[in-house]
């Protein structure tokens, strides 16, 4: 009877999602209705279309999540929704629905940060993960190094001072004419390249911080390309992609390693889109193996946007009585 059932909603981008979780990390249902096909012909997510689609899909998705969990509205202990960061129209659809459910069922409303959701997705896959742990969150908008004593909260050790890691991949890929999203395009182009072909700078912070910086590297790559063009030297795209990728991975993994050495931790976790990078995974995996530290990255299903990860965060907020008032609004540029 002490089990806590939370209905969680996610609608920050182009996935309409609802999930029921039991005691945080046990996922009873995880329904995701993707709008990807709808937006494809426009070459990206169209916010107006996305919010209208969320409005249309959300209630059926909630019904399906409850049905798959074998529960009814009356069984719920709390309702959670992503309130940022993301597209304001979509966020408002999920948050408003959660408010209505909270009000009518007289259960707490929990407002969840989407980025925290991506991090907690790891803990759903690996509930037995040993703590304390360090998590490196690397996406198109974030580069955050986090310390978790337990799963109840985190301390930010470092973050990027300029571009996010994924943003650097996207910008350089565009500059090289490799298309969007840049990360997978660079990784593919780098496959047959020599990572030591061009010696790009690794940003060094001389202040003992765990912060990152990628704008210097970005400028160096652009200067290199322009220089070669001026000299009429043909650029080897594979070598260039591999050298750039290596510089990013080197910056990420060396900072991560420094933090691992300083803090007495048991596990290291990657999250965010850049965590899909195979070379990064291999390099971190081999270093953690040497140090005998457990290493995890998320499964594909929980890596992309979903509501189970929102439910996981919501459970720990529930334990803390960290509830939102009905007056809360969406925050499109919410930080971690």
277 is in an annotated binding site: yes
Whether the Cβ atoms of residue 267 and residue 131 lie closer than 8 Å to each other: yes
- 141 lies in the site for ligand KG4, by CB under 6 A: yes
Does residue 90 interact with ligand KG4 by CB under 6 A?
no
Tokens of 139: 């996406």
Q: How far is CA 15 from the centre of its chain?
A: 14
Strands 133-138 and 143-148: antiparallel
For 15-30, letters b (16+ CB in 10 Å) and e give bbbbbbbbebbbbbbb
Strands 78-84 and 109-113, how do they pair?
parallel
Q: Does 183 bind ligand KG4 (CB under 6 A)?
A: yes
Could you give the residue ranges of the DSSP H alpha helices within 3-111?
Answer: 36-40, 47-69, 88-105
User: Between 78 and 185, whose beta carbon lies closer to ligand KG4?
Assistant: 185
- Residue 141: which of ligand KG4, Zn ion, none does it interact with, CB under 5 to 8 A by kind? ligand KG4
Q: Is 114 annotated as a binding residue?
A: yes
To ligand KG4, the closest distance from the beta carbon of 35 in angstroms equals 15
**182 touches ligand KG4 (CB under 6 A):** yes
CB nearer to ligand KG4: give 71 or 285. 285
Judged by DSSP in three states, 30 sits in strand
CB-nearest residue to ligand KG4: 183
- Separation between Cα atoms, residue 78 and residue 315, nearest integer Å: 9
Rank residues 187 and 305 by Cβ distance to Zn ion and give the closer one.
305
Beta bridge partners of 333: none
Query: Per-residue x/- marks for Zn ion, 270-309, CB under 5 A?
Result: -----------------------------------x----
Say if residue 23 carries a ligand binding annotation.
no
Q: Which residues are annotated as a binding site for substrate?
A: 137-141, 170, 183, 187, 277
Residues engaged in binding ligand KG4 (CB under 6 A): 139-141, 166, 169-170, 181-184, 187, 272-274, 276-277
Give contact residues for Zn ion (rule: CB under 5 A). Answer: 305
């Amino acid at each position: 009877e002490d089990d806590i059932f939370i209905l969680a909603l996610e609608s920050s981008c182009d996935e309409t999602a609802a999930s029921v979780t039991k005691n945080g990390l046990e996922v009873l249902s995880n329904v995701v209705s993707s709008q990807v096909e709808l937006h494809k012909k426009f070459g990206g997510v169209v916010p107006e279309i996305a919010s209208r689609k969320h409005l249309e899909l959300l209630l059926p998705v909630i019904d399906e999540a409850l049905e798959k969990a074998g529960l009814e509205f009356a069984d719920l202990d709390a309702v959670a929704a992503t309130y940022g960061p993301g597209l304001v129209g979509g966020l408002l659809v999920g948050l408003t629905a959660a408010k209505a459910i909270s009000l009518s069922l007289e259960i707490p409303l929990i407002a969840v940060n989407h980025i925290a959701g991506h991090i907690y997705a790891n803990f759903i896959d690996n509930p037995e993960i040993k703590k304390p742990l360090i998590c490196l969150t690397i996406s198109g908008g974030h580069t955050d190094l986090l310390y978790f004593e337990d799963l109840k909260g985190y301390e930010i050790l470092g973050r990027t001072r300029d571009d996010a890691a994924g943003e650097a991949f996207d910008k350089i890929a565009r500059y090289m004419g490799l298309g969007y999203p840049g990360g997978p395009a660079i990784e593919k182009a780098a496959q047959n390249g020599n990572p030591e072909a061009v010696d790009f700078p690794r940003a060094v912070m001389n202040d003992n911080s765990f912060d990152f910086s990628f704008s210097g590297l970005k400028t160096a790559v652009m200067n290199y390309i322009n220089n070669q063009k001026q000299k009429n030297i043909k650029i080897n795209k594979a070598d260039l992609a591999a050298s750039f990728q290596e510089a990013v991975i080197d910056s990420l993994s060396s900072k991560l390693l420094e933090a691992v050495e300083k803090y007495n931790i048991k596990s290291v976790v990657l999250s965010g889109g850049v965590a899909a990078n195979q070379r990064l995974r291999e390099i971190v995996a081999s270093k953690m193996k040497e140090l005998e530290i457990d290493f995890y990255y998320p499964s594909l299903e929980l890596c992309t946007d979903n509501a189970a990860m929102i439910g996981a965060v919501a459970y720990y907020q529930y334990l803390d009585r960290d509830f939102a008032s009905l007056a809360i609004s969406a925050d499109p540029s919410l930080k971690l």
